[in-house]
Every structure is written in structure tokens, then in C-alpha cells.
Chains A and B, each alone.
Chain A
Amino acid sequence: MGINTGLGTTAVFTIQSLALKIVSIDIGNQTLPTVNISTLATTNYEQYIPGDLSESGQVTLECQFDSEADQIALGAVDTLTITLPLTGTGTSNATWVGTGFITDYKPPGFLKNELQTHTVTFQFDGGANSGTAPTFTKQTTV
């Protein structure tokens, strides 16, 4: 069983060789559209079948701001690896991996009594341009 909290989860961008000091990670929703197949002969309820292609989702990373680091690049294709903490007798961490690009960057706010944090939004590209579709790999155990 691999139940755990989020503590110890990490996020790394491969091409930028960038590790962020994460406060929180929201992997977003993978959603599948629905197709309404109801007709005038349908009774009781609307009827649906699954759509063909899923939305791969957007990852939102809230991070501590490093004023000595380079500016985050919007639009550049990169591979994001989110590594989950090991649980129990695990030997190899579970991961979420996929290629995509940063679509939104919110620089830090500057307030007294609050740490400077910035927010990065990463759009998975679904494997476009020979990239990697978002893939979850489960933890392996002894």
C-alpha cells in the first residue's frame, strides 16, 4: 500500500535543469469530453458516450521565490518530472512525467510578514512533437 502525504514531493524541469522550492503542487484534471447521443426517441435521461481525446491537464506549482535564479521562460518545451515520496518498502519512487511548456508565470507578491512565492503553470502537451504524454508510473517495492 502506498498511502502518504504530499511532503517530500519534488518537481524538476529537465531541459532548464531547474528544481523549484515547492510549496504546493496541483497536477490539474485530466478530463474526457462527453458526446450526447440523445434523440427524440430517447426516454427519461440524456444519453452520453465517452469522447475520443482527453485533455492532459495543467500543472500549477507554487514555489518559494529565489531572487538569484534566472527568470522562468514561458513557452519553451520541457519535460516535467514530479516525484512522489517513497512509502513503506518502496525502492523506486512513483512519478508523473510529461512534456509541455510553461503557459503562465505569476511573479511574487511583496508583503510584510509573508514569504515571497511565485506560481508557475505548466501545460502538458499530450505528447505533441515527439514529446511524452503525461504518464504516471507507480512506485516499485522490494
Chain B
Amino acid sequence: MVELKPHPAQARHPVTNVPLFDDDGNPRPLLPETRSIWWDGVMVGYCSKHGATFTLEVSQVPDWVRDEVEELVSVEFGDCPKVSMLIDTPEVDE
């Protein structure tokens, strides 16, 4: 399953630098306009209105995952102008 969650970085008080929580005890996101991308319980990248960025190599991301992320980002931010991934590890020429 592919899903978007809040960015894991937690906001801090600008004066005291103490970590901030909402009324339910959840961390307040440091980057509210950015989401993290999760694939079957593993974080595999980040996204925002600027697009989606995988922290996986191109060959590790199946087309259906890429398509689902593109769709989720489009729903969340209205558009997904760019999808980027890590370059593949060099292969030995045969």
C-alpha cells in the first residue's frame, strides 16, 4: 500500500526551542506543506507541490508505485509537476 503521511520533522518553539505537540499529543509538523511517502510501512521519499522525490533507485520503483504516488500527490497538492528518483547503480557492460 502506498500512502502519504506528515513529514517526520517536528516543529519547535521559536523562542524556547522546545518540541511542539498538538492537543492530541501528536508532534506538530515542522514542514506542514511537505509529506513523506510510505510504501508498505517503509518511508521511501518526500513530496510537496513541487513534486515527488523517491529515495530509491529508479529500478527499485515499480511503475504502479510511481503512478500511485503521482496520483496521491496530485490529489493532495493539485498537481505533481515532477517525479525524481536516485540514479541506478552502474552496471557492468556485458
Which residues of A are in contact with B by a Cβ distance under 8 Å? 10, 12-21, 64, 66, 68-69, 79, 81, 83, 92-95, 97, 115, 132, 135, 137, 140
Q: Are B90 and A115 in contact (CB under 8 A)?
A: yes
Q: Are A92 and B8 in contact (CB under 8 A)?
A: yes
Q: Are B30 and A64 in contact (CB under 8 A)?
A: no
Interface 0/1 of B80-91, CB less than 8 Å to A: 011111110010
In the bound complex, CA of A18 to CA of B84 (Å): 7
Q: Are A19 and B85 in contact (CB under 8 A)?
A: yes
B32 to chain A, nearest CB (A): 11
**Besides A17-B51, A17-B52, 14 other CB < 8 A contacts?**
A13-B53, A14-B53, A15-B50, A17-B48, A17-B82, A17-B83, A18-B84, A21-B86, A21-B87, A64-B87, A81-B46, A83-B43, A97-B31, A137-B9
